[in-house]
């Protein structure tokens, strides 16, 4: 398998799907001539031309609405948000049009569209550009929500998302674009709604998505030195959530710590905890703990930014508490 960067894996997925299906096209701010703000769409304009790689005005509500209409008309748009913070401007089209059209048309008109781009905090981007908003979209029936953590997952999940007949919100962690890893060549897809065990273990389950998977893996390596064998489970798709895999892991380890970059109130972890409590309560030997972003707007100052984000030390502390090691 080739070793490529996260952004290259996304690029491969879009290129292959555009080659396979002429109804697939990409649009967004600077996706064409500039090759994308994070160079994810590099070379696509040269290969497919301006009718299938469209540079849009700075109007998220407008071009997302264009994507909804194109999908209703039989095309498969990929709508890139320069950052998912800007998707807030397009919420009406995403929530009130894309997510509801199939239901309101009695199953006659679908919106097979992917809305993708970077999410979460980067490095000192401030309060308005550092938000992990996946919980917002998970709240909406009619949307699927995908958060890959590795280059292989990025490619396989994006290809499946493009082929899906529903609207898929595909959030890529901003700091993972340069991450390199092995990616299968040729036809390679990962079904939506299927979790992945990134590290098997028997003492505690760490449930994390996107870049928090790597924080959980770092914590697991440190915990191994103490004799604690942590399993790291990556849901990959947050809606639909692979509850079966989560429950199976809890049945094995009997303890859980949920790690997420987003805010704690009404977060992804709250839903995961609720799922475990209702479906695997009898298997728990300790309370479930959550490690989240701090419940404040993200500060700009680097030391404060670091304090707000979940890190290895906080995950290890939570594991010590559920394994009674502290």
pLDDT in tens, 283-298: 999 999 999 999 999 9
Instruction: Assess whether 17 carries a catalytic annotation.
Output: no
DSSP notation for 64-75: HHHHHHHHHTT-
Helix or strand holding residue 21 (H, E): none
- Per CATH, 2-183 and 196-322 having the same topology is answered yes
pLDDT score for 185:
85
The token duo for 9 is 């894996």
Give mean pLDDT, residues 246-267.
97
What CATH number has the domain spanning 196-322?
Answer: 3.40.50.920
Kindly tell me the sign of the dihedral angle through the C-alpha atoms of 32, 33, 39, 44: positive
pLDDT at 56 over 70: yes
pLDDT at 259 over 70: yes
Q: Where are the domains of the chain?
A: 2-183, 196-322
Residue of 8, 16, 129, 172 with catalytic role: 129
pLDDT score for 326:
62
What CATH number has the domain spanning 2-183?
Answer: 3.40.50.970
Instruction: Assess whether 129 carries a catalytic annotation.
Output: yes
pLDDT score for 208:
98
Give mean pLDDT, residues 33-47.
96
In the β-sheet with 114-119, what is the strand arrangement from edge to edge?
53-55, 24-28, 76-80, 114-119, 167-173, 143-146, 237-239
pLDDT score for 325:
73
Which pairing describes strands 230-234 and 196-199: parallel, antiparallel, or unpaired? antiparallel
What's the predicted TM-score (pTM) here?
0.96
pLDDT at 108 over 70: yes
Residue of 8, 16, 17, 60 with catalytic role: 60
pLDDT score for 67:
98
pLDDT score for 68:
98
Alpha helix ranges (H) inside 73-148: 91, 101-104, 134-138
Tens of pLDDT, residue by residue over 212-247, are: 999 999 999 999 999 999 999 999 999 999 999 999
Mean pLDDT for the chain overall: 97
pLDDT score for 324:
86
Give mean pLDDT, residues 304-326.
93
């Amino acid at each position: 398998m080739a070793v490529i960067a996260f952004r290259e894996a996304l690029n491969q997925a879009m290129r292959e799907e555009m080659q396979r299906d002429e109804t697939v096209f990409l649009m967004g701010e600077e996706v064409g001539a500039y090759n994308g703000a994070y160079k994810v769409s590099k070379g696509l304009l040269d290969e497919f031309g301006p009718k299938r790689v469209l540079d849009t005005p700075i109007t998220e509500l407008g071009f997302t609405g264009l994507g909804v209409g194109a999908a209703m008309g039989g095309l498969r748009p990929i709508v890139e948000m320069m950052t998912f913070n800007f998707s807030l401007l397009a919420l009406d089209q995403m929530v009130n049009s894309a997510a509801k059209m199939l239901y309101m048309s009695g199953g006659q008109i679908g919106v097979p569209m992917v809305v993708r781009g970077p999410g979460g905090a980067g490095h000192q981007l401030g309060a308005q550009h550092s938000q992990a908003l996946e919980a917002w979209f998970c709240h909406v029936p009619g949307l699927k929500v995908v958060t890959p953590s590795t280059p292989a997952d990025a490619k396989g999940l994006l290809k499946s998302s493009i082929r899906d007949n529903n609207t898929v919100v595909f959030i890529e962690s901003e700091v993972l674009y340069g991450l390199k890893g092995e990616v299968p060549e040729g036809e390679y897809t990962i079904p939506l709604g299927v979790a992945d065990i990134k590290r098997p273990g028997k003492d505690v389950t760490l449930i994390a998505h996107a870049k928090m998977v790597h924080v959980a893996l770092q914590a697991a390596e440190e915990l191994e030195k103490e004799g604690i064998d942590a399993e790291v489970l990556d849901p990959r798709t947050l809606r639909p959530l692979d509850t079966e895999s989560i429950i199976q892991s809890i049945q094995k380890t009997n303890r859980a710590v949920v790690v997420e970059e987003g805010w704690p109130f009404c977060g992804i972890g709250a839903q995961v905890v609720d799922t475990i409590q209702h479906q695997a309560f009898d298997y728990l030997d300790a309370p479930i703990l959550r490690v989240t972003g701090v419940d404040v707007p993200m500060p700009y100052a680097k030391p404060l930014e670091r304090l707000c984000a979940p890190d290895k030390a906080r995950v290890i502390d939570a594991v010590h508490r559920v394994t009674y090691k502290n």
